[in-house]
Amino acid sequence: MREAVQRCSLDLGGTAVLTEAATGAYAVTAPIAALAGAQVTALARDSRYGSARDAEYAVMELASAAGVAERVRIVQAVPQDLSGYGIVTNSGHLRPIDAAMITRLPGNAVIALMFEAWELREGDIDIDACRARGIRIAAVNERHAAVDVFSYLGPLSLHALQDAGVACYGGRVALLCDNAFGPYILRSLSNNGVEAAVFTEVTAMPQSAWDAVLVALHPHAKPRIDAAAAARLASVAADAAIVQIWGDIDRTALAAHGFEAWPPQAPRTGHMAVLMSDIGPEAVVRLQAGGLAAASRVWRGDPVTPDGIAELV
């Protein structure tokens, strides 16, 4: 966490941050903000990943180890008075960040998206309420050298394939990808002995002895793998494992053609099916520090440039 703060030149001195108290690797967000000098309020709630008590313990253990426990406060509900907060993170326990919350923020507040602008999911943040108040939403350039989270997509994809029982070396993988994830995943697959080809949609896939179909498609209003796509997969990749990274899948339609998608538990609509934390905490630390750094730049009024760490939604 200290290395990430230094690498991102993260300075939150004089700032109050509202974020979540989470478990596992995602417990790092509040301690990172505190290490950068912020006074932090972290919302703890029960979730499928752990109880509110688990989250409080995980966050405070890290904060204590980092020597910043006095800067972190755990709460069980969003404070009514939000007038003193400069940065609010678009974190799971705080979502949706709705109009009721936005109207209570100061006019110079910044919402930290915590990922790239093009990845914004409908329903996470009330964009119209932000526009009405002049509240800025800061995304993070995940490909910036100080963050470099996209480089972990390849190892994450290999991990998911291996979990699904695919022996990657010497295997044939069809990568369904229509976004910036593609080059990073493809490079890692190729460097690890996988014969991989990229297709932006199922209809472009030729029939072949595919060992796996790796789905990394940008979510739309409807599942990216629907009944028609499932039928097409049955004709061109009948024996393949279907491995979901991103992009919603109609699992019932797949099952009708004899497929079982991996991982077994479907993600929430629009969310990643596998987590960066599945391969260790480093990518999560980088992403959370980068997201806070982007928001801090916008909050301080620094210029937003194409090669910088911050993007504006």
User: Global pTM?
Assistant: 0.94
Write the pLDDT tens digit of every residue in 210-224: 999 999 999 999 999
Write the DSSP symbol of residue 225.
B
Write the pLDDT tens digit of every residue in 45-62: 999 889 999 999 999 999
Residue 165 has pLDDT above 90, yes or no: yes
Residue 197 backbone dihedrals phi, psi, to 5 degrees:
-135, 145
All CATH 3.40.50.2300 domain ranges in the chain, comma separated: 165-262
Q: What is the pLDDT of residue 140?
A: 98
Which residues, in sequence order, are CB contacts of 119 under 8 Å at separation 6+? Answer: 113, 139
All CATH 3.40.50.720 domain ranges in the chain, comma separated: 2-147+280-312
Fold of 2-147+280-312: Rossmann fold (3.40.50)
Q: How far apart are CA 31 and CA 244, in angstroms?
A: 31
Write the pLDDT tens digit of every residue in 69-97: 999 999 999 999 999 999 999 999 999 99
What does the pLDDT average to over 29-40? Answer: 98
pLDDT band for position 122 (cuts 50, 70, 90)? confident
Q: To which CATH superfamily is domain 165-262 assigned?
A: Response regulator (3.40.50.2300)
In terms of DSSP bridges, do strands 310-312 and 136-140 run parallel, antiparallel, or are they unpaired? antiparallel
Q: Which two tokens stand for residue 77?
A: 């509900």
What does the pLDDT average to over 247-267? Answer: 96
